[in-house]
Structure 1
Amino acid sequence: MTRWAWPEVADLPGTIHVPDSSAAARPHDHRRLTEIYCFLFWIALGQIGSANPPWFERSLVGLELYAHIKSQAPRVSVDFNYHGSPPFSFEVGQRPVQHAQNADFVTGETGVWGFSALGVSLNAQFYRAATPKRPVQVAIQRSVRTYHDQTTRPLHDIRWELFTLLAHGAFVTMVDKTAFDGWLDPVAYERIGLAFAEAQRKRGHFGHQPVYDVGLYFSSRTRDWIGREDAARYWQSFYGAHKACVLEHFQFGVLLDENVSLNELQRFPVVCLPNVAILSRHEVAQLRGYVEQGGKLLVTGYSGQFDRWGKPLAESALSELIGATVTRRLDSMDNWLNLENGADSPSASHRPASGSSVQVEGCATAAPALPMLARDLPTGWPFLVEGPATLYAPTTAVPVGALLEPHRTARQRQGTEGLHWPMSADAPVGAAILIHRL
């Protein structure tokens, strides 16, 4: 149990956390701080492999603890503080929706020093998706490096992180670790005050419904059963999709497999499945309904190609939506794409089956799509797309460009040389992109 100094949320956009052992916590009464007890707990009871639908499950331990706290102090707010990044911890069996529901609100942390600047926006959107219509708290710190570092962050660095989180719908707690003698850094608190005062002046800009460009689909089941021995097998694709959105200034949100619904999907004009290898029948039905009602689905990697236990399927659960069947999964990560299209293009031999009717924006070829796809990338030029790739045989989809396998040296083929560095492009094996209209 940790004691916190907490301003009323209605008055301030965030909170200042000062250790209870410090007498300096008391002069902040003029800010109408209300002392409450926050119970910070970690739930290690995961339901991995459970046969019940995850959106009906909540941790028994968490429910009992929550009920006990409320019976003793009904006005107390209970906080599920998972700590760490990426959001929610695979190692102890946490799933975002299942376990974040064990409290009145969820708390996470960003930690630019450890989790990168990109994690700030991603974590805030992740918590919002896990606890719809509930407040989410994100903890940041006044130090430059780790929590126990006494180096004071520049004001504009604090402003950037604070306003990024507020813009993504979180409320913010600033954490400070006092010096061993209990001293508080006056410059740090001056900067915190300036940043929070600015946030108060601009609070009318926050808390509105976002206008999203892209929904990034996160699959706890894929994380647990595809990435369990090698987390990067899944996280790399999800992080890559998020990074692309940030760098291109696309407003993104997060969709979770545990509580996905057609209504949630329809909040996004585009939904990206970044290597979502495991998809249930319920998820596929929701995705199909989304596309049938005008949504745009971007499918990458091995999406839909494994069963609920991580075993390969004979055919992708998304084959009808994709308009193609799986020929094989490339065992390489350093794959290459070439957007050149035409009679001599490698994709020319991978056109739809004879007799099929294909239309892309009213045309029977992929030509109209090329100017859009190649607007920022030159054609006739292979470029590296590091991540899992699938070779498809189109049925009703239109192929565009070429997918090229990477070159492998004789030693690499023999298994005596590593594959840590990407190799150059080798032979084309199929289409780079498939475009399909239902």
Structure 2
Amino acid sequence: MGNGATKGTPGGKLKLLTSGGLMKNHWRAITWDEQTRYQLIETIKEYKPLGQVGVQFAKILLLGHVNVGKSSFFNTINSIFRNHVTAQAPVGSPRDQRSVTTKMRGYQVRNGREGKVLNFKVVDTMGIEEEKRKGFEPSELSYLLDGHVPDNHQFDPSGNISGEMPGFVKLPKLQDKVHCCVFVLDANSITGMSEALLNKLSDMRAKITSRGIPLIVLVTKVDKACNQTCQDVSLVYRSNHIQHLIALAGTKIGIPVSHVLPVKNYTHEIELDPWVDILALSALQQMLRFTDNYFDECLVQYGKGYTQPEKTSNDLWTRNTTMRTNNQPKQAWQSSSAATPTAVAGRIPGASVQNTPLGKSILMGNVGTPVGKTASPEKQAVLMEVEEEEPDEPEVKKLEVEAPSPVKPTNGICASPSQPQPLEVAA
């Protein structure tokens, strides 16, 4: 840890939290615990575009300079849903001067090795370079946005997209078009971005926004840009430096700061990290929310407008994005749902995985990371207790019988004489 602090020890944690560069409170609200990770996974798994839009997969297009982490972001998302670190998309090394990705590739994500295909695609592209006729050519972006370019198209820096090329989609439908664009920036390069690169990004932004396509900026490698987040990525929203970089990225690209999201990709890890997952999943969730906005605008543009379905969808994504009629708060965690993925528990000091009737659960001991909003920064440890279900007991039937008045206290609790009391009778 920085400044000689040791994670997991009371003195070390206190020294970290009071070290320079950290705010007292988070500048963006997020809950750092396994429950948040689980809820994000379950919600994204059930995402699907509105039925009346007529699109099965939301297409998210990644754009950015060479070696900023475009392919790595897809690998990170794919790893989370595979429940282990994967590297399906080829990635380069810091020494590469040219883009390893040379084709436009739309990647799908499956829920597990043999699970269902999720309803979004992450489209990777060739890296942008400052020099003319090097890397991805921004003048060809319009063809990608409008859905003319087929999957696996081989990029050519000199420009090779035309109506005569094989596979060119002459009459693209909404499902062929791009529904959300993401500029991927390296946190360590934001302050020194060249004018040539900024001009290319500005040209691309104009093409994107003119079509009403939402634009998000993803700031990668936040662990290498800040000493605090290097040791503990859950401190990203308390870091003064990261906040400054996020604001600077919004200014340089010309979008609201709320559209700029920090992430850390899997680069050297061989096991999942829950806090890395939360950052990546929250970014993906925001992309899908923006995509929904784009589809809403498409319905208006096509003269259809939104019509409420006869039967309201009951999937988790819809429930989490719909106000409840009884004004009750949304339930963020349901222990009766599927088991929480906990392959990540091994990296957390003092954490262990326990088998329960519902699956694996994580038990945390002294963990030097913030776990929830309610925990104060001065707390040195947070214990998440996981109770295992008791063995099956004989079924008990409850009969409501009018109790005589007055009723004597039972187990120290005085029952109300005016209300019927349930009596438990063994079946």
| TM-score of Structure 1 vs Structure 2, range by shorter chain | under 0.3
- TM value normalised by structure 2: 0.25
Higher relative contact order (CA 8 A, sep 6+): 2
- TM value normalised by structure 1: 0.24
Structure with greater strand percent: 1
